[in-house]
Amino acid sequence: MNDSFLPFALPDIGEEEIAEVVHALRSGWVTTGPKTRQFESEFAEWLGGQVEAISVNSATAGLHLALEALGIGAGDEVITTPYTFTASAEVIRYMGADPVFVDIDPRTLNLDPARIEAAITPRTRAILPVHFAGLACDMDAILAIARRHGLRVVEDAAHALPTRFRGQLVGQLASDVTVFSFYATKTMTTGEGGMVVCKDPAVAKRCRVMRLHGINRDAFDRYTSKTPAWYYEVVAPGFKYNLTDIASAIGIHQLRKANRFHARREAMALRYNAELSGLPIELPPRAEREGDLHAWHLYVLRLQQGAPIGRDAFIQAMADRGIGCSVHFIPLHLHPYWRDTYRLQAEDFPQAYAAYRGAVSLPLYTKMTDADQSRVIQAVRDILAPV
């Protein structure tokens, strides 16, 4: 099988998911309904309760709803990292607000709390940290800054299931809203999907209403409650961000497997760490704080300056050996839209730029076999330490 192509990522969908989807299809209820209700309540329970879980059709939609519910608007500023996917910042633009990028800590690749206060202005309303690759940001520092300056905190937890910060699951921290992604490549998937998690009932209510056209009751409620099914009220110009029961059917079973998936990802990450040592690369940052848990959504190594081959050539050499790699991330300030809109230069965020130039994401997913991983390790060693 050594000549077959090993993709960079693959979802892990089992017979349970397939049977549940078939059940949804046969039930006649294909859009938001009983399976979505069940998925939301099991998700909140999985986080340990005391939170509301609001399913959405993407994390991007969820981040948009979060900012809307918190009242972020035109002229406001939201501090975030340039070392992320564009969704983290585009949602700020949806609200007419401006992202203010703050460079990363090169040790963790996460937003560097030591640089945040210098970026705060009278227009700053919120901080939007991203738990890069599944390693928690320093949330104590970020939440302390937010409290000191009266700012909201929205966590982009697209990589962070399950991630722990000082013993607590991301989703249970003292931020305002946390948003998870169930995109195809994430640690659990519904094809497309996401979950908004928050503790404030008013914020949760606003997210629920805006998720479905600004209507104050959803279709399932309309067809199951005693008030006439035809009656509803539009209270705001909302969005179409609801998750279908077909997707939730997948999510119910993916969530039940999340801890098992994590154990496998963690074991694979540790094996990479052990078997890739001694090469001209920097291994991914690890969870160092007491009680932290790394979700290992991504395994990102960085080629060192003295490596015998550049990053782009390395990825090509891996592809030549039939192995898919990727880059996380092309920092936002290098993309034309962000660069030109905010007149940014590569060196404005030197840590993000430097990380990007060496970054390679290796395949890391539960469908990979030990033999697949051996093949990746052998290829990396062949390319970087030719005998």
Ligand X SMILES: *Cc1c(COP(=O)(O)O)cnc(C)c1O
Give me the DSSP letters along 37-49.
Answer: HHHHHHHHHHTTS
Maximum CA pair distance of the chain? 76
Closer residue to ligand X in complex, CB, 185/216: 185
Determine if 78 is a binding residue for ligand X (CB under 6 A): no
Binding range to ligand X, per CB under 6 A, among 79-87, 250-258, 279-287, 371-379: 79-87
Instruction: Give the nearest distance from C-beta 298 to ligand X in angstroms.
Output: 9
Stretch that binds ligand X, among 155-163, 168-176, 203-211, 224-232 (CB under 6 A): 155-163
Residue 128, C-beta contacts closer than 8 angstroms, at least 6 positions apart? 63, 78, 79, 80, 88, 92, 99, 153, 154, 155, 156
Q: Which is nearer to ligand X, 60 or 373 (CB)?
A: 60
Strands 299-303 vs 281-282: parallel, antiparallel or unpaired: antiparallel
- Sole binder of ligand X in the list 9, 59, 209, 246 (CB under 6 A): 59
175: contact with ligand X by CB under 6 A: no
CA distances from 41 to 54, 195, 211 (A): 9, 11, 17
| Residue 145 three-state SS | helix
Query: The tokens of 329 are what?
Result: 């991330």
From the list 17, 77, 155, 156, which residue makes contact with ligand X (rule: CB under 6 A)?
156
To ligand X, the closest distance from the beta carbon of 355 in angstroms equals 15
Using CB under 6 A as the binding rule, whether residue 58 contacts ligand X is answered as: yes
* Identified binder of ligand X from the candidate list 36, 55, 80, 84, rule CB under 6 A: 84
For residue 133, the minimal CB distance to ligand X (Å) is 9
- For ligand X, the binding residues in 106-135 under the rule CB under 6 A are 130
| Residue 88 touches ligand X, criterion: CB under 6 A | yes
Annotated catalytic residue 186 = yes
The residue with tokens 């094809």 is: 191
Three-state SS at 165: strand
Closest separation between CB of residue 72 and ligand X, Å? 17
Query: Of 361, 319, 255, which Cα lies nearest the Cα of 12?
Result: 255
Q: How far is the CB of 190 from ligand X (least distance, A)?
A: 9
Using CB atoms within 10 A of its CB, is residue 113 exposed (0-12), middle (13-18) or buried (19+)? buried
Q: Does residue 155 belong to the site contacting ligand X (CB under 6 A)? A: no
Cβ–Cβ under 8 Å, residues 142 and 111 = yes
Q: Is 194 in the site for ligand X (CB under 6 A)?
A: yes
Closest approach, Cβ 24 to ligand X, in A, equals 20
Considering only residues 29, 85, 165, 299, which one is a binding residue for ligand X as defined by CB under 6 A?
85
54 near ligand X (CB under 6 A): no
What's the CA gap between 203 and 207, in Å, rounded? 6
CA dihedral 336, 338, 341, 344 (to 10 degrees): -90
**Shortest separation between residue 59's beta carbon and ligand X, angstroms:** 3
User: Among the options 35, 186, 240, 257, which is catalytic?
Assistant: 186
Q: Can you tell me the distance from the alpha carbon of 59 to that of 180, in angstroms, rounded to the nearest whole number?
A: 6
Q: Does 92 bind ligand X (CB under 6 A)?
A: no
| Cis amide prior to 329 (ω within 30 degrees) | yes
87 binds ligand X (CB under 6 A): yes
What positions carry a catalytic annotation? 186
Residues contributing to the site for ligand X (CB under 6 A): 58-60, 84-85, 87-88, 130, 156, 158-159, 181, 183, 194
